Amino acid sequence: MESAEIARRFLRFFEERGHTVVPSASLVAEDPTLLLVNAGMVPFKPYFLGQQKPPYRRAASAQKVIRTLDIDEVGKTTRHASFFQMLGNFSFGDYFKEDAIPFAWELLTRPESEGGFGFPEDRLWVTVYLDDDEAQDIWHRKAGVPLERIQRRGMADNFWSMGVPGPCGPCSEIYYDRGPEYGVEGGPIADENRYLEVWNNVFMQFERGEGGGKDNFPILGDLPAKSVDTGMGLERMAAILQGVDNIYEIDTTYKILDRAAELTRSRYGRDPRSDVSLRVVADHMRAGVMLVGDGVLPSNEGRGYVLRRMLRRAIRNLRLLGAGEERYMHELTATTIEVMAEQYQQLKADAANIHTVIDAEEASFLGTLRTGTAIFDAAVEETKRKGAPVLSGSQAFQLHDTYGFPIDLTLEMAVEQGLKVDEDGFRRLMKEQRDRAKADAAAKKTGNADISVFGDILEKTGKVDFLGYNTTLAEATVIGVLIDGVAAPAAGAGMTVEIVLDRTPFYAEGGGQLADQGVIRTAGGEIEVVDVQSPVAGVVVHRGKVRAGEVRVGEAVHAEVDVERRRAISRSHTATHLVHRGFRNALGESAAQAGSENSPGRFRFDFTAAGAVPASMLRDVEDEVNAVLINDLKVNAYYTSQAEARKMGALALFGEKYGDEVRVVEVGEYSRELCGGTHVASSGQLGLVKVLGESSIGAGVRRVEALVGIDAFRFLARESVLVAQISEQLKTRREELPERVEGIVSRLRAAEKELDKLRSAQVLAVAGELAAGAPETGGVSVVTHRAPDGTSADDLRKLALDVRGRFPGDRAAVVVVAGVPSDRPVVVAAVNEAGRARGLSAGRLVGVAAKALGGGGGGKDDVAQGGGTRPEAIGDALRAVGDTIAGQVG
């Protein structure tokens, strides 16, 4: 039975029993305590906590899930995976154990021909929480499970939570006995490899607090209602129903694994090390494609770092499989999209964007591997020079943290060099970094109480009516006042408040558009609104300060948006749509919007692209957009179904989440997008769009910044004045300025090169004199020389090598030259072969000098370079070198 069919059967079974089938939510968690969705119940968490009223009493879903706690174990075992799908049925204060347990048993044991999964009853075992007599009784009485196949387990095994404060409760798990060839008898408590968990019924009853581990947290109290949250891992179920040993051999995962084996000319099952790499590639490709499909982009923090880490682990393991510099991610991305698209059709529509992001990350990381390898080689050379057998933990950590070099690759390469790595030191530094990150993340968490008060308002008064598409002022009633996040009946002058109205013209920040500002006036007071947010769908919160009088719940108010600011932002938002279309026309449909910010008179637009956009193409896009403005196309907005909008070709923003009903914004026939923002009435109202330039903000993502309307006109006016001033100073017509400036720059560069030659010749002119007058110490000729200030580091190096080369081959010689190229001193040491035979090392001598200069340095035994921060100590540094040489050979 294929994975897609397993999901269909599950959802159909519960739909027939009154459950609303809910599509998978994005992997990007809306919960502020989570980076990514890590359980099937996450999208329903506000319903379990009573923060929001659920639109249904029963639900079923097939939810995408990412878990990264065991990411280093992925591939090493066949049990761990970072991406999986959780099938679940949920009750929000409706049914409880008495119904949930029979539901699970019926679906599992019903014959496949009748829509079930056909499990033999005698091969199913059950576990319950230690004191859950009720669950045990239902399993035995209603499902007919013998008592000897029902086992009790403690909190670590049979009590579930998300690992953070929130809903929790005892659970009852169902296990499938795979047979004696997989392990010992005795049920799940004896062997969880033989007895494989297939379903977990969680009985949500309590709310937990902060705490570590699976069983070290306080229970804060009961939830508003007893509920049910069940989870059945789709991949694990597929492994059983498809008769394979593990989740890496099921239909979806194995096709990716097999393609990776084909590309790298390896074979699964032949070599344990290759098997690990193939499993890592298969798992991380699924996770990476699904994350990018949900709008996550590689970065060095948060969920973007999770994505980057998994993509780079996949690339590294391809390298271990023999890929070398070959790029296989594009092919593997295509295979992943193909195998997952039956369940997630949107992957096909987003394929071009997904390819762009992952291809760019591969190109970037292959460059990192080259750079990291060079740094690694230097670290190995230094370690061997010191005679140490172990690469330090700090060096390994620097390779990982600064250059993105994976630790296991460092370990592998160290073994090839006959070295070990201080893994304990590396792990300690990693732990310190993680602890800092956790402390920072904890400080940023907003907690569950932040939105509960808004959920109460929503339940009591219903959705706030947004009027801002048609007006910027309205009469309304105050339905909520909050001070420091706590509901209050009123707020007085000087207080910072959050106000909820039953209807509002204020636009809440979203979709890249900044929030409106303005005022709310009461009969005797005034509130300055500086920010507007929507913490809960359907609730608009106005944040600001009471300037005069007071504001009370139930009071009538007059809400007025800052019109000029709104108009300027609306111009920017419409311009973003036009620029988006322009870049798609120029670069193809892979140029998908990856973020934006619409500010008054200015906007930035991020989009996926394989590389930099040529200046000529930027000009072409700008010209095309301004032609649309001249044609003054009508801007039209309307609501329709998501399916109908896609049929019309409306652009859905990459990674955005949409409901069944969507708002379409059209600019004539030129642009058509799904958008909830505010816009101008016609394109001519934008006046002018001026693109300032574009740059990279990450692998595969570019950013364009532009001005709109009067801001664009003012910018061009300033540019015109500046050009006029330059034209006047150079006595050249405007159209001839580029050629004139190019000529001046060329002459300056030529003059600078000539000056450099003269300076080098002047510096090197003393080489013969220095060699001829070199004093001897213990039979070694020693030259210590301070070059004139301003001598470049390159010339210092040339001088040292020139002087060294003037000594006969059988005469031991050391040359140490120092100078101040700019504001920091530099020292270069060179030792000839005869000097090195006497045990002298340029690297050690530079270290001595650099220490005196307040810095550091090193290098090879024949030539080395260092520096410091104390130019005044150059004399001391050269004397220290002389003393060191005398102490060694004298």
How far is it, in rounded angstroms, from Cα 401 to Cα 300? Answer: 10
Which run of H or of E encompasses 804?
helix 793-805
Q: By C-alpha distance, which of 232, 209, 178 is closest to 63?
A: 232
In order, the DSSP letters of 416-485 are HTT-EE-HHHHHHHHHHHHHHHHHHHHHH---THHHHHHHHHHHHH---EE-TTT-SEEEEEEEEEEETT
- Mention every residue, 6+ apart, whose C-beta is less than 8 A from residue 630: 684
Query: Hey, which residues does 558 pair with through a beta bridge?
Result: 475, 521
Show the beta-strand stretches assigned E in 592-727: 593-599, 602-608, 635-641, 661-667, 671-674, 689-698, 701-708
171 among the known binding-site residues? no
Whether the CB-CB separation of 503 and 579 falls below 8 Å is answered with no
Q: How many CB atoms lie within 10 A of CB 703?
A: 18
How many other C-beta atoms lie within 10 A of the C-beta of residue 205?
18
Q: Max Cα separation, the chain?
A: 105
Please state, in angstroms and rounded to a whole number, the distance separating the CA atoms of residues 664 and 449.
35
Whether 283 and 253 have beta carbons less than 8 Å apart is answered as yes
From 542, 553, 450, select the one nearest 166 (Cα to Cα): 450
Residue owning tokens 């909008």:
645
Distance CA 764, CA 336 (A): 62
Number of neighbouring beta carbons within 10 Å of residue 199 = 23
Which residues in 478-489 are b (16+ Cβ under 10 Å) and which e? bbbbbeeeeebe
Residue with tokens 């404060």: 165
Residue 679 C-alpha from the chain's centroid: 30
d(CA 369, CA 366): 5
Mapped onto helix, strand or coil, the DSSP state of residue 682 is strand
| Residue 140 among known ligand-binding residues | no
Question: Could you write out the DSSP letters of every residue in 111-175?
Answer: -GGGTS----GGGEEEEEETT-HHHHHHHHHTS---GGGEEEE-HHHHEE--SSSEEEEEEEEEE
Q: Which of 706, 708, 627, 711 is nearest to 671 (CA)?
A: 627
Side-chain-facing half-sphere of 90: CA atoms under 13 Å: 27
Report the alpha-carbon distance of residue 298 to residue 310 in Å, rounded.
10
Do residues 287 and 333 make contact, with C-beta atoms less than 8 angstroms apart? no
User: Residue 716 contacts by C-beta under 8 Å, 6 or more apart in sequence?
Assistant: 688, 690
According to DSSP, residue 199 is labeled E
β-strand partners of 140: none
> Annotation-wise, does 284 bind a ligand?
no
Rg, the chain, Cα only: 34
Question: Are 477 and 552 contacting, i.e. CB atoms less than 8 angstroms apart?
Answer: no
Please say whether the beta carbons of 88 and 230 come within 8 A. Answer: yes
DSSP result, 425-441: HHHHHHHHHHHHHHHHH
HEC string of 59-121? Answer: EEEEEEEECCCCHHHECCECCCCCEEEEEEEEECCCCCHHHHHHHHHHHHHCCHHHCCCCCCH
Residue ranges at the known binding site: 573, 577, 675, 679
Residue ranges at the known binding site for Zn(2+): 573, 577, 675, 679
